[in-house]
Amino acid sequence: MCFYLDGTVNMYMRPLEGVTVTVDLEEMKIIGFWDRLTVPMPKAEGTDYRESEQKPPFLPPLKKITVVQPDGPSFKIDGHKVRWANWDFHLSFDMRAGPIISLASIYDLEKQKFRPVLYKGFVSELFVPYMDLDEEWYYRTYFDAGEYGFGLCAVSLEPMRDCPENAVFMDAYVVGQNGKPVKMSQIFCIFERHAGDIMWRHTETAIPRTIVREVRPEVSLVVRMVSTVGNYDYIIDWEFKQSGSIIATVGLTGLLEVRGSRYTHKDQIDEEVYGTLLAQNTIGVNHDHFLIYHLDLDVDGDSNSFVKSNLKTTQVPDHGSPRKSYWRVVSETAKTESDAKIKLGSKATELLVVNPNKMTKMGNHVGYRLVPKSGAGSLLSDDDYSQTRAAFTKYNVWVTPYNKSEKWAGGLYVDQSRGDDTLATWSQRNREIENKDIVVWYTLGFHHAPYQEDFPLMPTLSSGFELRPANFFESNPVLKVKPPQDVMRLNCSIFKVV
Amino acid sequence: MCFYLDGTVNMYMRPLEGVTVTVDLEEMKIIGFWDRLTVPMPKAEGTDYRESEQKPPFLPPLKKITVVQPDGPSFKIDGHKVRWANWDFHLSFDMRAGPIISLASIYDLEKQKFRPVLYKGFVSELFVPYMDLDEEWYYRTYFDAGEYGFGLCAVSLEPMRDCPENAVFMDAYVVGQNGKPVKMSQIFCIFERHAGDIMWRHTETAIPRTIVREVRPEVSLVVRMVSTVGNYDYIIDWEFKQSGSIIATVGLTGLLEVRGSRYTHKDQIDEEVYGTLLAQNTIGVNHDHFLIYHLDLDVDGDSNSFVKSNLKTTQVPDHGSPRKSYWRVVSETAKTESDAKIKLGSKATELLVVNPNKMTKMGNHVGYRLVPKSGAGSLLSDDDYSQTRAAFTKYNVWVTPYNKSEKWAGGLYVDQSRGDDTLATWSQRNREIENKDIVVWYTLGFHHAPYQEDFPLMPTLSSGFELRPANFFESNPVLKVKPPQDVMRLNCSIFKVV
């Protein structure tokens, strides 16, 4: 792909459309060049995003705001082990996956011990297909982990900007092309999030002559990495809550991949352009982002089952009750892989990983819920070449028995793959998954039809999922969180603007 | 409903099951009493949520954390007008709806003027049906706004707990039963949220000998109210972003409505119990929460249209391209109300309110997207009495032409209503909604099958929706947000623990 750098650092907004170059990677020579058509070059004006290049007027500046921990953070980092509040986990870096969270356990006050939750969790693959059939575009169906290295594309985080003032940073190391270790600086940040949310509360007004009010503000722990795969910036957060929830969030920002175009106004368009006219001669091409997470949950032990709790409407026989209907929970335990392929949608279903060998005192199986925030799946047809390689996007959820060779949903070798070594193929064996060491695969999808606000750089768009305890504890695990010590600032003058 | 207060302030966990009392509200006398069956009373032990009643061990306390604005907040409040960054809106209090956001406009740097977005937005009704058919339960299908007053149930917010340190509070006034004004203290809080998120960023590594990195941290404005309708606490947030997004979030916390039960272990259960055994003799009853928002958008003027942008898979004819498929956006403008009744689910559709009379320079209609975070709808059958009153839950989205009498989706008089004056009935007229002053109604739904973690008080569960600009601006409206002044703390000793 060719871009023009003159007049802006935002080369992605200045594509040289219609040019195909063939490179011999062994010779490192251009061996073919085809200039199929001439398309006007989008202007540089308005594309640069650097502060230094902006001209007034500016939005009104906000007053200074910062987060302060006078006694330092509440977490401890020992090598790659992180200990915070009731959580204990290991954070490592992988060239392909980026952050890997492993051995995440939570301390159970009642049982007086750590209990395992997540043996290992990471982004196994990303699939980013563009919806443009043209000669120079049809093949833009990227696999950002397997083809590029989601970890390799990680960028240094900027203190006070990428992460708040109270963040601690961690470096990463990769193997360089000469086999020697290469340091990547400030790849992870770890910080306590104090967003103004409420962990739990209640005001009781129904008791005569008494008002009861108890409120606990939320403080959580965030582990962040940013991977900039060419034009796009992915903000990958793993957030731990004292309540036992693990929340994975992905923020999409950075630059769109746009095509040059002869059009300067929508009215001129009389053909399929595969996207939105964002600026003169600039089409933001429709595309998707699918991130598939490998979630090897070990809920209170490694033998787990996957349960679909369907909320089913039940009709009430005439005269049985003044009510005609209600819903009840009808749970199905998945026996084999085919029982656990799920397209999220209009069905009211709760998805759980339970330990069938462990029960609460009340007799409920201990479990964790997967609470998805997006149900977007691939809209491509199954026989499309890129879709055969990314067939893991056909369902939002898959469950497999643990197999150490099944780590990368798009296959170990993704370049030029034909889908033989992918999640969809492995699952065809329809293996048993009940009361086994299982892996849940969740695909977080974003359909992205661009809007003008995404030009020349897009404001962050976020989604994710939550792993939430579901009868894992005997009762609310944060009832015994003490209210925070209130901190009040006495004097502003000691704040220095740096 | 009868509860037992001995030994706990959490009377909701100690129901006197099986008792029905009839009260003559004019005489204020009990005129009927039926004790249908005797059920063991759940124990008080473990139900109290007050800090003072907790016994060790506690979760390890976190170190102090606070948000600081040395020069004060960036917003200005003038009566009920709030001005912050590029936003300007009016915040008022309503006994029935709680907070009402009106006349929300955003300053457009390029056009050098404020442009209207949301004429009026509020929670029009809440429907909370329980899924228990028993004599004392079948009628528990609450309408928290129309029957109780969602605003009337608002509670005073606790500084440093319900809202962070940098919050400003606002009182509300209601009409007392004697016609005189009654002050409700600290009902709203307004604060800038600095959660550690990234507004936008990019690192450019593809330019030889140059690294470009630009990052803008996110700061947003939150308006919060908490309404405690009996047992449940609803945290209602309206959040404004400089990017033009308005995000509505509802957090559910507080106490479940539970039924007494003879069971102390799940294995004993041999009948339908309508919920989950949470503790001895305590069943958390299955239920839903549906909050329907009245969203009178005025996108750049009051004449708007509602557009469904369907992402449709298109097959490519053989040999037309190496690709077999792609998706494109097929937009439909809703002509009448029936075109705009939407059940969210597996269909890939973007929902927009556009101004068909205003275009960007590129020729796109200016618009805002409704981005739902939940697609849950009612599972009750249409002929169920409570469902006829709450028929607005049948679809997640409705669009009506503005009509000043159509404010309350469950009808003006909800008690004993039969659904004649509800959104579903109004919409049967199938009025024209194209290029008119329209109102979008969005139902945010939560199905709640309780888990043991919800006992004796539930950790907050959140969802919501976003109104996001979609070709409203010519380009990214936050490109010209200056990076914040970095603030660094020099000395901890000036922080006093209060």
- Rounded Cα distance between B290 and B378, Å, is 8
Q: What percent of chain B has pLDDT over 90?
A: 94
Q: Following DSSP, what letter does each residue of B140-174 receive, concatenated?
A: -EEEIIIII-TTTTB-PPPBTTTB-TT-EEEEEEE
- Rounded Cα distance between B334 and B340, Å, is 6
Of B205, B277, B309, the CB nearest to A449: B309
As a dihedral over the C-alpha atoms of residue A72, residue A77, residue A83, residue A89, rounded to 10 degrees, the angle is 150
- In this prediction, residues B313-319 reach a mean pLDDT of 91
Query: CB of B343 within 8 A of CB of B322?
Result: no
Tens-place pLDDT, residues B140-187: 999 999 999 999 999 999 999 999 999 999 999 999 989 999 999 999
Dig out the tokens for A17 from the structure.
Answer: 């459309």
Residue A240 CA to its chain's centroid (Å)? 14
- CB neighbours (10 Å) of residue A387? 23
Q: How far is CA A390 from CA A329, A400, A408, A424, in A?
A: 33, 17, 11, 8
Query: CB of A368 within 8 A of CB of A297?
Result: yes
Nearest to B100 by CA among B168, B151, B159: B151
Q: Tell me: pLDDT of B297 over 90.
A: yes
The pLDDT value recorded for residue B366 is 98
Q: Which of residues 113-152 of A touch B (CB under 8 A)?
A: 131-133, 138-139
Q: Say which DSSP state B429 is in.
A: G
Q: How would residue B472 be classed by pLDDT, with cut points 50, 70 and 90?
A: very high
pLDDT truncated to tens, each residue of chain A (498 aa)?
899 999 999 999 999 999 999 999 999 999 999 999 999 999 999 999 999 999 999 998 999 999 999 899 999 999 999 999 999 999 999 999 999 999 999 999 999 999 999 999 999 999 999 999 999 999 999 999 999 999 999 999 999 999 999 999 999 999 998 999 999 999 999 999 999 999 999 999 999 999 999 999 999 999 999 999 999 999 999 999 999 999 999 999 999 999 999 999 999 999 999 999 999 999 999 999 999 999 999 999 999 999 999 999 999 988 888 999 999 999 999 999 999 999 998 789 999 999 999 999 999 999 999 999 999 999 999 999 999 999 999 999 999 999 999 999 999 999 989 999 999 999 999 999 999 999 999 999 999 999 999 999 999 999 999 999 999 999 999 999 998 877 655 444 444 444
Q: Report how far apart the first and last C-alpha atoms of chain A are (Å, whole number).
A: 41
Q: Report how far apart the first and last C-alpha atoms of chain B are (Å, whole number).
A: 41
Task: Name, in order, each residue with C-beta under 8 angstroms of A302's C-beta and a sequence gap of 6 or more.
Answer: A116, A119, A402, A437
Tens-place pLDDT, residues B353-387: 999 999 999 999 999 999 999 999 999 999 999 99
B144 is catalytic: yes
- Residue ranges, CATH 2.70.98.20, chain A: 65-302+369-470
Question: How many contacts, defined by CB atoms under 8 Å, are there between A and B?
Answer: 579
The pLDDT value recorded for residue A495 is 46
- In this prediction, residues B242-253 reach a mean pLDDT of 98
Tens-place pLDDT, residues B89-121: 999 999 999 999 999 999 999 999 999 999 999
Q: How far is CA B255 from CA A214, B53, B145, in A?
A: 12, 17, 18
Half-sphere exposure of A42 (CA within 13 A, CB side): 33
> Is the sign of the CA dihedral B396, B397, B403, B404 positive or negative?
positive
Q: How far is CA B311 from CA A452, A455, A460, B373, in A?
A: 18, 21, 22, 18
Q: In what order do the strands lie in the sheet with B220-229?
A: B168-175, B181-193, B220-229, B232-241, B246-254, B458-470, B365-372, B349-359, B305-315, B325-333
Determine whether the interchain pair B62/A203 forms a contact, defined as Cβ–Cβ distance below 8 Å.
Answer: no
The pLDDT value recorded for residue B346 is 74
Determine whether the interchain pair B253/A198 forms a contact, defined as Cβ–Cβ distance below 8 Å.
Answer: yes
Element spanning B352, H or E: strand B349-359
Dig out the tokens for B227 from the structure.
Answer: 């309404």
The pLDDT value recorded for residue B488 is 59
- Rounded Cα distance between A148 and A160, Å, is 28
Q: Which of residues 92-111 of B touch A (CB under 8 A)?
A: 107, 109
Can you tell me whether residue B219 is helix, strand or coil?
coil
Determine whether the interchain pair B362/A279 forms a contact, defined as Cβ–Cβ distance below 8 Å.
Answer: yes
> Is the sign of the CA dihedral A455, A457, A459, A462 positive or negative?
positive
Flag whether residue B228 sits within 8 Å of chain A, measured between CB atoms.
Answer: yes
Determine whether the interchain pair B216/A161 forms a contact, defined as Cβ–Cβ distance below 8 Å.
Answer: yes
The pLDDT value recorded for residue B59 is 92
What ipTM was estimated for this complex?
0.96
Q: How far is CA B78 from CA A105, A180, B75, B81, B90, in A?
A: 49, 63, 10, 5, 9
- Rounded Cα distance between B267 and B417, Å, is 41
Nearest to A142 by CA among A164, A153, A124, A127: A127
What residues does A259 pair with on adjacent strands?
A283
Dig out the tokens for A359 from the structure.
Answer: 């029960």
Can you tell me whether residue B109 is helix, strand or coil?
coil
Determine whether the interchain pair B212/A487 forms a contact, defined as Cβ–Cβ distance below 8 Å.
Answer: no
Domain A65-302+369-470 classification at class level: mainly beta
- Rounded Cα distance between B106 and B110, Å, is 12
The pLDDT value recorded for residue A346 is 74
Residue type, B56: P
Flag whether residue B156 sits within 8 Å of chain A, measured between CB atoms.
Answer: yes
- Rounded Cα distance between A320 and A336, Å, is 38
Q: Which of residues 243-302 of B touch A (CB under 8 A)?
A: 243-245, 251, 253-255, 264-267, 272, 274, 276-280, 286
Cα nearest neighbour of B477 on chain A = A453
- Rounded Cα distance between A118 and A293, Å, is 12
Residue type, B463: S
Q: Tell me: pLDDT of B494 over 90.
A: no
A232 is catalytic: yes
Flag whether residue A180 sits within 8 Å of chain B, measured between CB atoms.
Answer: no
Chain A residues touching residue B63 (CB < 8 angstroms)? 69, 71-74
Query: CB of A305 within 8 A of CB of A299?
Result: no
Chain A residues touching residue B312 (CB < 8 angstroms)? 379
Catalytic residue among B142, B232, B263, B274: B232
Query: CB of B430 within 8 A of CB of B400?
Result: no
Of A274, A350, A362, the CB nearest to B278: A362
Q: What percent of chain B has pLDDT over 70?
A: 98
- Rounded Cα distance between B75 and B100, Å, is 18
Query: CB of A303 within 8 A of CB of A435?
Result: yes
Predicted model pTM: 0.97
Residue B161 CA to its chain's centroid (Å)? 20
> Is the sign of the CA dihedral B155, B158, B161, B162 positive or negative?
positive
Determine whether the interchain pair A322/B385 forms a contact, defined as Cβ–Cβ distance below 8 Å.
Answer: yes
The pLDDT value recorded for residue B190 is 98
Task: Name, in order, each residue with C-beta under 8 angstroms of A383's C-beta and a sequence gap of 6 or more.
Answer: B324
The pLDDT value recorded for residue B320 is 80
The pLDDT value recorded for residue B319 is 81
Tens-place pLDDT, residues B121-146: 999 999 999 999 999 999 999 999 99
Dig out the tokens for B238 from the structure.
Answer: 């309206």
The pLDDT value recorded for residue A318 is 83
